[in-house]
Amino acid sequence: MRYSFQHTPLSPLQLTGAIKWLIITNVVVYVFQVFAGRSFIYTFGLVPYSLIHYFRLWQLFTYMFLHGGIFHLLFNLFILWMFGKSVEDAWGTKSFLKYYFICGLGAAIAIVLTGPNSTTVNIGASGAIYGILVAFAMLYPETIIYLYFLIPVKAKYLAIILGVIAFLAGISGSGSGIAHFGHLGGLLVGYLYLKYPVWKYRFPRIDGLKLFRRKYQPKEEIISKNWEEEINRILDKILAQGVDSLTIEEKKMMDEYVQRRGEE
């Protein structure tokens, strides 16, 4: 499935910090994987039976950096670059990486729960990538994405479509070698993490989409109370309806707000 979208808050070729790190790391690991052979994949890929019976807990994270082939790698990195840079730009590098790994962990848990005795090796960052797609859809729900560069779909609908496809493929057992429940797990964990406030008590330093607010939290000595209240209202609107819902005046206020914060 190919994607193209209209929302480009950053330069098309610009790489944010986390995206650059993830791309480089995945490429380096893939090169090593090619020369290391199958034993490397079975040691660091996610094998539910080995994880449970031999306590290979590292597999919950290391499987995300392995891939089944060059096209698998390039596709995941392309989607990560296209959607992830906008999410990281809104949240910041550290928070983006935490969210990325939480979604990847959620995907791994879904794979293990749906096949605890499976000896099939699962590899790839697709679960985490699905989480990034959900985050993008919640930040920019009205953004138009072109499937196969032809079919226009709003981001919020694309996330739903992908979730339904993953679920139906998972219960039907179609798609040999594809961990559909892993994709669904990454998607659902990302959605729950961003949607429900209960997560902030489990992860007090990350509060879903309110990361955007925390990143640009105003200082009282610089911004007046009325200004702060108006900014908070706009941020609440972003949380509820997405960036595309802002009026021209609200967008101007946010631009000025971000500019002031950048000068501090």
Active site residues: 126, 183
> Residue 152 burial by CB count (10 A; 0-12/13-18/19+): exposed, middle or buried?
exposed
CA atoms within 13 A on the CB side of 112: 22
Q: Is the pLDDT of residue 90 over 70?
A: yes
Domains and CATH numbers, the chain: 3-202 (1.20.1540.10), 216-263 (no CATH)
Long-range contacts of 168-175 (CB under 8 A, 24+ apart): 170/114
For the whole model, what pTM was predicted?
0.71
Least confident of 2-11, 56-65, 160-169: 2-11
Q: What is the pLDDT of residue 148?
A: 66
Mean pLDDT of 164-187: 72
DSSP string, 162-203: HHHHHHHHHHHT-STT--HHHHHHHHHHHHHHHH-TTHHHHS
Mean pLDDT of 89-105: 92
pLDDT tens per residue across span 144-171: 888 767 788 888 888 888 778 776 776 6
Amino acid at 239: L
Give Cα 27 distance to the centre of its chain: 19
